[in-house]
Structure 1
Amino acid sequence: MIRPRAASAALVGIGATPFTKDSGRSELALAAEAVRAAVADAGLVPGDVDGLVTFTMDTSPEIAVAQAAGLGELTFFSRVHYGGGAACATVLQAALAVASGTAEVVVCYRAFNERSGRRFGAGVRQREPSAEGVALGWMLPAGLLTPASWAALAARRYLHVHGLEADVFGHVAVTARRYAATNPAAYFHGRPITLADHAASRWIAEPLRLLDCCQETDGGQALVVTTPERARDLRHPPALVRAAAQGAGRGQEQMTGFHRGEAARPPETAVVARQLWQRSGLRPADVDVAVLYDHFTPYVLMQLEEFGFCGPGEGGEFVAAGALPLNTHGGQLGEAYLHGMNGIAEAVRQLRGTSPNQVPGAAHALVTAGAGVPTSGLILGADG
């Protein structure tokens, strides 16, 4: 039996708003509600929190959230770049803060009205001058205007390299919706799909169909991180941070890196995988449940392959076989699109033993953030 390395931080609280298509509230209100819920779940009070971490894309400043949620003094506050790639990195930054003594209780949060407000899938809008905007200038004249169109190029290359058809992506969508159907918090609760449903859904950007694309969601999610020592005195069994990592490949771009090597493989995922396995001392066979960022179904297959759960081009068969519990909350395809933060919450539930789709005896969970962009990942473990 492999003995994982000691942890220097733990997740002790999770909180979320309802996941809707029209919240009717400000993004600040959503963030504050999620933060308060996470703190209460941990058995703490707002005054215990002395750190906050969020995304650069979040519209609610840390000090505004602190005021709205009734927090006290802050000794640490920070933000992480690159959209969904930031999800697990918020926990990494929180873990670094508590391990160094910079803060003792740090809350990571993300909240947005992504359906009723700014819809990411609506395409590129006018942007302020930036290096990222210049990079997009090479793609937009060719009609690559949306995340789905960028992902479609990588997906087409994946199918070509491995001699596959687009129906292989359906296994990811069907698996996510099967778990969502039995998760009361999921938007698609009670609504599973079949491979035939996937194949019948309309094209968005070939070879991606509607059911290959994640939802648009209004909502918020928050996570509480503290030291393992304090965690053991709190309300729930802690989810220990066995390893955390960020990664960017050479020549990295944001989902438009079509000239940096093999487009059918996300090199940033390989950077994260290498670090997680090395730092944790674990291997794919030690993972009991995986929560892989599913903004688009092809990237789930690519991540499985880069992490070593199966060989190149074998991700679809691996998912179909059900050998590894995958996105047991329903993922962003089935539960909600919260930039991956709800996936971290599901990993915590699995290690607590409270998931609606509980994996018996789950001791280690792998969580990933957005693929195709500079990304991050976590390996969480049960205590003891």
Structure 2
Amino acid sequence: MSEYSLRGKVAAVGVGETTYYRHSQAPEPEFVLCLKAILAACTDAGIDPRHIDGFASYSDDRNTPMALSAALGVDELRFSNMQWGGGGGGVAGALANASAAIVGGLADCVVVYRALAQGQFGRFGQGAQIPAVPGEYSLALPYGQMAPAQFFAPKAMRFMHEHQIDQDALRAIAMASYHHAQANPRAIMHGRPLTEEKYDESRWIAEPFHLYDCCMENDGAAAVLLVSADRARDLKQMPAFVLGAAMGAAQRAPGTPAAIFATPDYPSSYFKPVAKRLYAMARMGPQDVDVVQCYENFTGGVLMSLVEHGFFEPEEAMEFLKLENLIAPTGRLPLNTSGGNLAECYMHGLGLQIEAIRQIRGKSTSQVPDVNVSLAVGGPMSPPVSTILYGSEATL
């Protein structure tokens, strides 16, 4: 093993979540929610919160390490980091940064966290509230592209057109998430199953995305606690070891809505080179993955991400993306087994990371048998993107 690899050197040992709420419905401030999730992760791991010495988050987090450290009574802050990029695109990257800090000796116990209280700070899914069109949006906003669904829909439509993929593939992805949410009492959409008819009759948001192809907007908080692999083996929970992580984008990936149209690989989730580096570090391939949690900002991004992670060729999408192949416990590739961003909660993808860890522990509400390798993909189409593989002790 290269000394420069993360493989097997770090493990997720604690996970914590608050109750999840519909957007703007949280009864407490965002900072309080954040603290509650971190404390829950510490309790889960059996670690005193004062012994956290590192904080990692992603994309414009309002909850600063200094404020969190003071509130938690942290003995000494040794590491703080935040990932650039569009929200969930950096979620696995935040876990990679935390892992790298531990391997590099910058910290011993790092928490990755996210909290949202949109009634307090405003909705993420709304169009930009700006008095004039800035230059980077000049080729988008005047033509009606004001919100994420409108930016990403043409990419998915182009991919589907080029490879003769129809709406049934996106519907299967959405229905898998809703199917798993029915077994998960934490899920916002628990008790609200999705049928083919309900999906087909739902309104268009931005073609090819129906209402149920789009992630929810939620309030709440989530946290994951990481320590060295050696320390992890002495703690309360079964460790989920980091086998590999990667982040980035291909050449000339867009940094603004206007640049999205100039990229040489327009119909892409931007995981082509990133997934290759993930598998190289993990010394594994897609055939080794038992279960997948793939960030659904929109189902079209999941479609492209699964292709670019090597699970099937684009021309095989219609055959592969059938509901029976995507549901636990018997599916060919169980997908988003907590309900994901579509039906559990949209916490910028950190809930999907927690579900990937739960699958390794054997504690999911839609558990896949004998999971040794669990993949958690960060937000597609919003570079820099990121992706991570967790494994059981048997994989090391």
Q: TM-score, normalised by structure 2?
A: 0.91
CA contact (8 A) 2:30 2:120 kept: no
**Could you tell me how far 1:316 is from its partner in structure 2?**
4.3
Partner of 1:263: 266
Task: State how far apart, in whole Å, the 2-side matches of 1:205 and 1:215 are.
Answer: 15
Partner of 2:47: 44
CA contact (8 A) 2:109 2:225 kept: yes
Gaps of 5+ in 1: none
Q: Is 1:375 paired with 2:385?
A: yes
- Superposition map of 1:122-141 within 5 A: 122-126=126-130, 134-141=135-142
Paired AA for residue 380 in structure 1:
Y
Match of 1:28 among 4, 26, 31: 31
Partner of 2:155: 154
**Could you tell me how far 1:191 is from its partner in structure 2?**
1.8
Task: State how far apart, in whole Å, the 2-side matches of 1:315 and 1:73 are.
Answer: 50
Task: State how far apart, in whole Å, the 2-side matches of 1:271 and 1:331 are.
Answer: 25
Task: State how far apart, in whole Å, the 2-side matches of 1:127 and 1:54 are.
Answer: 30
Task: State how far apart, in whole Å, the 2-side matches of 1:116 and 1:300 are.
Answer: 30
Partner of 2:114: 110
Partner of 1:277: 279
Q: CA separation of 1:219/1:48 partners in 2, compared to 1, >3 Å: closer, same or farther?
A: same
Match of 2:95 among 91, 95, 99: 91
Q: Percent identity?
A: 36
Paired AA for residue 96 in structure 1:
A
Q: Name the SS of the counterpart of 2:314 in structure 1.
A: coil
**Could you tell me how far 1:304 is from its partner in structure 2?**
0.8
Q: TM-score, normalised by structure 1?
A: 0.94
CA contact (8 A) 1:9 1:99 kept: yes
Q: Is 1:120 paired with 2:124?
A: yes
Paired AA for residue 44 in structure 1:
I
- Superposition map of 1:109-258 within 5 A: 109-114=113-118, 117-126=121-130, 134-254=135-255, 256=257, 257-258=260-261
Partner of 1:11: 12
Paired AA for residue 75 in structure 2:
G
Paired AA for residue 84 in structure 2:
H
**Could you tell me how far 1:116 is from its partner in structure 2?**
6.5
Number of residue equivalences: 377
Q: What per-residue deviation string (whole Å, max 9, x for no partner) do you get for residues 101-139 of structure 1?
A: 11000001010124664212211223999xxx6422321
**Could you tell me how far 1:6 is from its partner in structure 2?**
4.5
Task: State how far apart, in whole Å, the 1-side matches of 2:231 and 2:198 are.
Answer: 48
CA contact (8 A) 1:287 1:364 kept: yes
Moved more, 44-53 or 306-315: 306-315
Partner of 2:355: 346
CA contact (8 A) 1:301 1:316 kept: no
Q: Name the SS of the counterpart of 2:262 in structure 1.
A: coil
CA contact (8 A) 2:165 2:318 kept: no
Q: What per-residue deviation string (whole Å, max 9, x for no partner) do you get for residues 152-205 of structure 1?
A: 111221221122333431111100000011111111112221122111111111
CA contact (8 A) 1:115 1:216 kept: no
Task: State how far apart, in whole Å, the 2-side matches of 1:46 and 1:33 are.
Answer: 11
CA contact (8 A) 1:243 1:380 kept: yes
Task: State how far apart, in whole Å, the 2-side matches of 1:281 and 1:70 are.
Answer: 40
Moved beyond 4 Å, runs of 4+: none
**Could you tell me how far 1:92 is from its partner in structure 2?**
0.5
